[in-house]
Amino acid sequence: MSRFHIRRPVVVLLMLAGVMVLGPSTTSATHPTGILPTLTDAVATTRESGTITVRGEGFSPGGQVYVALYDRWGNTLHETRWVTASSTVYGRDGSADPAAGFHRGGTLDEVFAHLCDATPMVRAYDQETATWSNWLDVHPGC
């Protein structure tokens, strides 16, 4: 038996092991590896009692995001809405240089009101990548 026939199964096994350890690639044109949708804060605003602003980043630029407020146990759904994450803005001549005006999209900044009767938590779903963000506690300031 030749060396090639003996080594082939070993090579195949090593390739399969590499795929299992490393997993499939999560890179896409709109959602680079390592950047997950993240809610950064949900803070009470000074406009009126019971109003909060939810901010996030790492969503698909220009994509649809489902923002949902739940009760403390994650069971009862309070207010929800679909929003559009910010679009990527390129600088002069399509530059990705921040000094030339580039701004990576994928952020959100949403206001929710009438939350005095609730102690909610919030999370968001990036439709394009089918990925949920982290949970954040909401303190409506009532």
Share of the chain above pLDDT 90, in %: 34
Assess contact for 39 and 55: CB atoms under 8 A: yes
Distances in Å between the Cα of 102 and the Cα atoms of 29, 39, 88, 94, 99 are 16, 22, 8, 8, 7
Q: In what order do the strands lie in the sheet with 108-112?
A: 38-44, 52-57, 108-112
pLDDT of residue 1: 53
H or E segment to which residue 83 belongs: strand 77-84
pLDDT of residue 138: 86
Task: List, for residues 58-97, the tens digit of each pLDDT value.
Answer: 999 999 999 999 888 777 788 899 999 999 888 888 888 8
- Please state the pTM of the whole predicted model: 0.69
What domains can you pick out in the chain, each with its CATH number?
27-137 (2.60.40.1930)
pLDDT of residue 28: 39
Q: Which stretches of the chain drop beneath a pLDDT of 50? A: 4, 10-14, 16-31, 33
